[in-house]
């Protein structure tokens, strides 16, 4: 039986080269993103999406010391978290989203019907439907299929004993692929090393930070140097469906009460 596989992304080593983005698109034959120069960031892809499964975030922070101070940069290669308790998988009504033998979460495109239930169920905003918006795909034969898409952790490569394309392409080893237990042991040592150098390093992805509210341990975790929101990550992600039942129960009770009141009124009018 295959062991649980995953990613550990060490932001202290990321140089923002976007080699991971390119490798992901090339291997998975994803169309290019439209280049947008907004004058607010060096990042031209902005976020994860149906056709961007790896995305390098750029956070430009002003340095201390007033005018002329050096800019501080936070860079991180973001990806699907392959959660222990995946909201997208739990919300899928067709069984299109499955957990593989590597303990990763994959969307089966031949089963997905594009209902979109998985989109709001992801606490990290990863899953997206490939609908017609923005520039048209440039790859031959590529088109908007209206289905949900996200990182597969290169499931096809794992089946052949290969590491995911993004990890293989990373020139600084910021993205590490391997057995999850080994990755967590490495993260603990790396965090201690960075903290020893005076950096505010910590591991994002356990039940205290990053895997809260029922999400569980993240299959793709991160070593961060600042607060999660600086990297567009929630500090305490929540599975939306866990907070749906109480509301539905209240609505059902109200509906029953209303039906009873109407029936009582009708009976009274007949007398």
Which CATH number covers residue 75?
3.30.70.20
- pLDDT, tens only, 190-240: 999 999 999 999 999 998 899 898 899 999 999 999 999 999 999 899 988
- Tell me, yes or no, whether 186 and 266 share the same domain: no
pLDDT over threshold 80, residue 18 = yes
Closest by CA position to 18, among listed 51, 53, 55: 55
- Tell me, yes or no, whether 257 and 187 share the same domain: no
- Tell me, yes or no, whether 122 and 256 share the same domain: no
Closest by CA position to 52, among listed 76, 74, 22, 94: 22
- Tell me, yes or no, whether 152 and 254 share the same domain: no
Query: Where does the pLDDT of residue 78 fall: very low under 50, low under 70, confident under 90, or very high at 90 and above?
Result: very high
- Tell me, yes or no, whether 207 and 107 share the same domain: yes
Closest by CA position to 150, among listed 166, 165, 136, 129: 129
- Tell me, yes or no, whether 140 and 103 share the same domain: yes
- pLDDT, tens only, 84-118: 999 999 999 999 999 999 999 999 999 999 999 99
Say how far apart CA 18 and CA 124 lie, in whole Å: 21
Under DSSP, is residue 143 helix (H, G, I), strand (E, B) or coil? coil
Note the pTM of the prediction, 2 decimals: 0.81
* Distant-in-sequence contacts of 90-95, Cβ < 8 A, 24+ apart: 90/121, 90/239, 90/241, 91/117, 91/118, 91/121, 91/241, 92/117, 92/118, 93/117
Average pLDDT, the chain: 85
- Tell me, yes or no, whether 267 and 206 share the same domain: no
- Tell me, yes or no, whether 48 and 174 share the same domain: yes
- Tell me, yes or no, whether 19 and 105 share the same domain: yes
- Domain of 196, in residue numbers: 5-236
- Please state the rounded mean pLDDT for residues 30-45: 72
- Tell me, yes or no, whether 228 and 260 share the same domain: no
Q: What are phi and psi of 17, to 5 degrees?
A: -75, -20
Residue 94: count of CB within 10 angstroms of its CB: 12
- Tell me, yes or no, whether 253 and 197 share the same domain: no
Query: Where does the pLDDT of residue 182 fall: very low under 50, low under 70, confident under 90, or very high at 90 and above?
Result: very high
- Tell me, yes or no, whether 259 and 148 share the same domain: no
Q: 3 is written with which tokens? A: 């062991």
Total of domains in the chain: 2
């Amino acid at each position: 039986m295959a062991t649980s596989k995953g990613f550990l992304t060490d932001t202290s080593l990321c140089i923002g080269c976007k080699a991971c983005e390119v490798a992901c698109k090339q291997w998975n034959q994803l169309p290019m993103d439209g280049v947008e120069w907004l004058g607010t960031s060096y990042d031209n892809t902005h976020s994860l999406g149906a056709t961007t499964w790896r995305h390098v975030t750029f956070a430009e922070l002003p340095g201390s010391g007033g005018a002329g101070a050096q800019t501080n940069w936070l860079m991180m290669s973001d990806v699907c978290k392959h959660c222990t308790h995946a909201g997208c998988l739990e919300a899928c009504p067709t069984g299109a989203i499955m957990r593989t033998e590597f303990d990763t979460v994959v969307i089966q495109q031949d089963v997905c019907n594009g209902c979109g239930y998985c989109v709001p169920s992801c606490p990290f905003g990863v899953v997206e439907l490939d609908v017609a918006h923005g520039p048209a795909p440039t790859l031959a034969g590529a088109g908007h299929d209206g289905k949900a898409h996200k990182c597969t952790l290169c499931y096809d490569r794992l089946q052949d004993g290969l590491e995911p394309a993004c990890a293989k392409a990373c020139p600084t080893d910021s993205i590490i692929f391997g057995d999850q237990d080994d990755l967590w042991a490495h993260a603990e040592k790396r965090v201690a090393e960075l903290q020893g150098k005076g950096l505010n390093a910590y591991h994002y992805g356990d039940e205290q930070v990053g895997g809260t509210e029922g999400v569980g341990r993240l299959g793709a975790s991160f070593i961060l140097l600042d607060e999660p929101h600086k990297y567009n990550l929630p500090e305490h992600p929540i599975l939306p469906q866990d907070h749906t039942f109480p509301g539905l129960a209240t609505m059902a009770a109200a509906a029953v009460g209303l039906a009873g009141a109407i029936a009582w009124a009708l009976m009274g009018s007949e007398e």
